[in-house]
Structure 1
Amino acid sequence: MSQEKIVETIPVGPLGIIALESSKVMGQHVNDYLVEWRNARESEHKGTIAFYGYQRDSYLLNACCPRFGTGEAKGQIKESVRGADLYLLVDVTNYSMTYTVCGHMNHMSPDDHYQDLKRIIAAVGGKAKRITVIMPYLYEGRQHRRTSRESLDCALALQELTHMGVDSIITFDAHDPRVQNAIPLKSLETVAPNYQFIKAMLHNVPDIRFDSKHMMVISPDEGGMSRAVYFANVLGLDMGMFYKRRDYTKIVNGRNPIVAHEFLGSDLEGKDILIVDDMISSGESILDVATELKRRKANRIFVAATFGIFTNGLAKFDDAYEKGLIYRLITTNLTYQTPELLTKPYYISADMSKYIALIIDTLNHDNSISALLNPVERIQNILKEYGQGHFAN
């Protein structure tokens, strides 16, 4: 969206960003972009009351969640939020943070981060004009439907947030976007970082070729088919998929164990492979898929996942890289990245801070973000810039 169109619409209210402790780094990057854009932006309306506080040195508000010795906490906002258009950033998977309970050290779980988010919303006390929660990894997103007598945690959380006064929730690559049915009268936007993946690969791998002769897109399971279909269509590539054969007679770690990965698709011998998924948890599935692809004589394997959680550490990925199983691993900075991960020779980080800043800037002016949610034009432009895909020679 052009800057001219943005500036000719009145902001919903003075912009305020509350980056919870889990998202402090991302919040700072987003704030830097917004300060730079708004200081460079010229508008004949700048002096009017509707644009009051439009250009500031920082849009980050001072908020915290101090804890008592018992581990209980409270939310505090240390400046006025009356009439503000608030954006709350939270990373519920940031396990690097700790707190003490009666002298014992605890690492913060998604439950703790979600509770802190509610505390900050409660501290706002209904004084803000509008509250938007930006929660890249959707809390309990994998517990979105019932398979037996069990809780529907994601739906409960969404309803709880909207009942507390949240107007809209923005998440990235929700495990199943249909969970928005839990809050049909409120907005839940699920954003995909497709453009950022392609941009990161073009920037970091000079000899990559996005065409059907040299590359193929693979979905590691049937649930991620739509993601792979999108990449295949936009980039003009062939597509294949694996489906997981599970043993439904057993339950291991809360799920049915995978017996084998079966492949559906055309010949992939000698082609680079792009595996796209929403998240890497332990990474076992992705590495099993990579092994199967190599068995079918695939060339370089690129793995792109929105969230890199790496619950079992990076040793398996180091080993896979050394054996030539994977060539590059791309995840976003939407969730916590360990310093160790950032030093890995095979790792590429896709920066999402500018994208989030664009979404906030556009929404603050009450403009449509539909163009930002469907980045086909931007993907075509960057392919053209690099002479790739349809634009090769």
Structure 2
Amino acid sequence: MSSRKFKDSMPLAPLKIVAIGNQQELGEKINKEIIARRHKALSEMQKPDFKMTGYDTQNYLVSYDCPRFGTGEAKCVINESMRGVDLFIIVDTVNYGQQYTMRNKTTNMSPDDFFMDLKRVIMACSGHPRRITVIMPYLYEGRQHIRYINESLDCAQALQELVSMGVETIITFDAHDNRVQNAIPNHGFDNFFTSFQFIDTVVKANPDIKIDPEHIMVISPDLGGMKRAVYYAGALGVEMGLFYKRMDYSKLVDGEHPVVSTQFLGNNVSGKDILLIDDMIATGHTILDVARELKERGANRIFICVTFGLFSNGTAELDAAYEENIFDSIYTTNLSYCPDEVKNKPYYHSVDLSKYISAIIDTLNHDTSVNDLIDATQRIQDIVQKHNNK
């Protein structure tokens, strides 16, 4: 991806990036990747005198502030001109590590707070950008995407609010259900996948792993993740299995529909390494129950790969399960906030997506297709072939 070239295309407009809140760290990484890529591209051009305002710069990040009053009210102030720019706004709506003071009490930022800050940034631009793209890795209210009873459709409403404010495209990663894009049929909605980065990281962290049908298997912890597991299994050339959970959709317990019964659908897992794939780990109950069941069935190592490590109930249960040898390692991306407490766990591995996002931004800024970035099948197979030939 880092070698992508745009010989026959020009940027739509000067690039600018806003990294909201604690996404500044990820924003800095993305910024450095784009700077390095563009410096290299210019050095290889036949016409080195090529110039476009803002193309070759030392910083694409926008300077802004979101101060709060003592009541908790806030505003956004952008400290530079946004006129005519191609603006990308990055926001982590589940960043529980950021706080603010309200009535002399420290309060954690909620997903609603971050979504409101996102809208404040858009409003502060005053309609001046040439184009606005929102990169929301964890789709705000993405789990509230479908109505079973008399309940709110928060995700659909949020998407409609953003496009009504002038957002042209919304980018997310491993969406819980990307059919929510039906709420904005006339606007862009791109759902990117993290499969290549996960496979690459797992292989590098476990050089002894054997990727073939006899030694490894892909498992989905529920029916909702089956499509994701099928893709992984197909790209790796191995078998897959899933756990079918019958749920009671007539009630909610702690915000979730209770599981009535669970059944494993798949071949024998005995002696095989397991890639346990899901889009998020919240309380950890479901994925640990699945890991225990797999261990009881004779599974060898279990690698838990989840895009978003929310850890909403802390890590005590995960720590205990690790000590019991229920799983070997957990891989999550840096698309959402992860505290140092988790990063320092012996079982934790971070999957860096900064290079991937920088390639997405650079490609879209040049107004060219991202299809080859979305489909990583060939790149995954190249990794597997290279690894197996060692």
Deviation at 1:48, TM superposition (A): 4.9
Q: Following the alignment from structure 2 to structure 1, what is the Cα–Cα distance between the partners of residues 236 and 150?
A: 42
User: 2:11 aligns to what?
Assistant: 11
1:94 alignment partner, SS class: coil
1:386 alignment partner, SS class: helix
1:146 alignment partner, SS class: coil
Task: Report if aligned partners of 1:261, 1:288 keep a CA contact under 8 Å in 2.
Answer: no
1:145-184 equivalence runs, <5 A = 145-184=146-185
1:233-382 equivalence runs, <5 A = 233-247=234-248, 250-382=251-383
Q: Following the alignment from structure 1 to structure 2, what is the Cα–Cα distance between the partners of residues 4 and 89?
A: 22
User: 2:36 aligns to what?
Assistant: 36
What amino acid is aligned across from residue 29 of structure 2 in structure 1?
Answer: H
Task: Report if aligned partners of 1:71, 1:102 keep a CA contact under 8 Å in 2.
Answer: yes
Task: Report if aligned partners of 1:20, 1:64 keep a CA contact under 8 Å in 2.
Answer: no
Deviation at 1:47, TM superposition (A): 4.1
What amino acid is aligned across from residue 119 of structure 2 in structure 1?
Answer: K
Deviation at 1:240, TM superposition (A): 0.8
Q: Residues 282 and 2 from structure 1, CA distance in 2 versus in 1: closer, same or farther, beyond 3 angstroms?
A: closer
Deviation at 1:246, TM superposition (A): 3.1
2:243 alignment partner, SS class: strand
What amino acid is aligned across from residue 9 of structure 2 in structure 1?
Answer: T
1:6 alignment partner, SS class: coil
Is 1:200 paired with 2:224? Answer: no
Q: Residues 273 and 120 from structure 1, CA distance in 2 versus in 1: closer, same or farther, beyond 3 angstroms?
A: same
Task: Report if aligned partners of 2:91, 2:135 keep a CA contact under 8 Å in 1.
Answer: yes
1:46-61 equivalence runs, <5 A = 47-48=49-50, 51-61=52-62
Task: Report if aligned partners of 2:159, 2:184 keep a CA contact under 8 Å in 1.
Answer: yes
Identity fraction in percent: 52
Bigger mean CA deviation after superposition, 32-41 or 367-376 = 32-41
Bigger mean CA deviation after superposition, 36-45 or 191-200 = 36-45
Deviation at 1:2, TM superposition (A): 7.9
What amino acid is aligned across from residue 209 of structure 1 in structure 2?
Answer: K
Task: Report if aligned partners of 1:274, 1:302 keep a CA contact under 8 Å in 2.
Answer: yes
Q: Deviations over 1:106-138 (max 9, x none)?
A: 100000000000000000111000000000000
Deviation at 1:37, TM superposition (A): 1.1
Deviation at 1:97, TM superposition (A): 0.8
What amino acid is aligned across from residue 87 of structure 1 in structure 2?
Answer: F
| Matched residue count | 388
Task: Report if aligned partners of 2:214, 2:272 keep a CA contact under 8 Å in 1.
Answer: yes
Q: Following the alignment from structure 2 to structure 1, what is the Cα–Cα distance between the partners of residues 334 and 2?
A: 26
What amino acid is aligned across from residue 139 of structure 2 in structure 1?
Answer: L
Deviation at 1:7, TM superposition (A): 4.0
1:154 alignment partner, SS class: helix
What amino acid is aligned across from residue 297 of structure 2 in structure 1?
Answer: R
Where structure 2 has 5 or more consecutive residues not aligned to the other structure, the ranges are none
Task: Report if aligned partners of 1:18, 1:60 keep a CA contact under 8 Å in 2.
Answer: yes
Q: Residues 14 and 238 from structure 1, CA distance in 2 versus in 1: closer, same or farther, beyond 3 angstroms?
A: same
TM-score for the superposition, normalised by structure 2: 0.96
Q: Following the alignment from structure 2 to structure 1, what is the Cα–Cα distance between the partners of residues 216 and 326?
A: 16
Deviation at 1:366, TM superposition (A): 0.5
Q: Following the alignment from structure 2 to structure 1, what is the Cα–Cα distance between the partners of residues 76 and 217?
A: 48
Q: Residues 360 and 186 from structure 1, CA distance in 2 versus in 1: closer, same or farther, beyond 3 angstroms?
A: same
Deviation at 1:8, TM superposition (A): 3.2
User: 2:116 aligns to what?
Assistant: 115
Q: Following the alignment from structure 1 to structure 2, what is the Cα–Cα distance between the partners of residues 295 and 53?
A: 58
1:223-242 equivalence runs, <5 A = 223-242=224-243
Q: Following the alignment from structure 1 to structure 2, what is the Cα–Cα distance between the partners of residues 141 and 196?
A: 22
